[in-house]
Amino acid sequence: MKKLNPSIKHHLLIGISISIWLFIFAFFIRPFDDGTINSKMWLFISVGFSMIAFLCYGILTIIQKSVYQKVSKWNLGFEIASLLFFHLLFLISTYIFYKSPILNGGYIFFQFLRIIILKSALISTPIILLARAYSIKLIPATQNHIAIRGENKLDILQIRKADLVCVSNSQNYVEIFYMEQSRLKTKLIRSTLKKVQHDFDFLIQIHRSHLINPSHFKAWKNQDTIFLTQMELPVSKNYKEQLLAL
């Protein structure tokens, strides 16, 4: 999966779905039933398992959003690491609950892993993957993507707002600098700097020929030049004040 929905709200809904499924798994399948546990105790155990699952996924939700905001990308490696983190956290938390004085479970750690956790993971993992994939469709397109259009109807560039680095004047065109798979790329579009600034008010003008996305500002090189992501640009005195305010 190459995208992530960073919305905590949407992922907490996934966490609720997982907790409901684990409640059903624990209460009706009763994976470690030895005939000595009554229905009231199984209800308590099932609620405990489901609450732990929700809390574990909630922790994952916060961590993955923080990681995503820092690296501005997501890939299969991050997705696998997220699933492993959730299952590991759930394993440790439920085992502590299982061995607590309230339950005083008899399985040792590896028995608990094999008999209970692996069974639940085999069924819950596909559900989690499907839910996470569906959550991507819930991302508002207008919030994360922009379309920069030229005078020609076919002259268009659609990118994530966060990937736009800067826009520079180039005679009768504007040159769009943007990130794609951690590389700086460019595209010429027949338009004007004034029109682009009007269409995308989050851009800041730093020079008569340059607009920048402030999220890609890194540092000052000297009094007249700044570093952006994988590039540098000159700064005019007339536009320096708003840049200093960042």
Q: Work out the burial of residue 157: count CB atoms within 10 Å of its CB; fewer than 13 is exposed, 13-18 middle, 19 or more buried.
A: middle
Reduced to 3 DSSP states, what percent helix, strand and coil does the chain have, rounded to the nearest 5? 55, 20, 25
Structure tokens at 26: 């624990």
Provide the pLDDT for residue 137: 82
Please give the chain's pLDDT, 246 residues, in tens. 667 888 899 999 999 999 999 899 888 888 777 667 788 888 999 999 999 999 999 999 999 998 887 776 788 999 999 999 999 999 999 999 999 998 888 889 999 999 889 988 988 899 999 999 999 888 765 557 888 999 887 889 999 999 999 999 998 999 999 999 899 999 999 999 999 999 998 999 999 999 999 999 999 999 999 999 999 999 999 888 888 877
Closest CA to 81 of 98, 58, 97, 60: 60
Provide the pLDDT for residue 214: 93
Provide the pLDDT for residue 54: 96
CATH (one of 3.40.50.300, 2.40.50.1020, 2.60.40.10, 3.30.1490.190) for 143-244: 2.40.50.1020
Q: Where along the chain do its domains lie?
A: 8-139, 143-244
DSSP line for 43-92: HHHHHHHHHHHHHHHHHHHHHHHHHHHHH----HHHHHHHHHHHHHHHHH
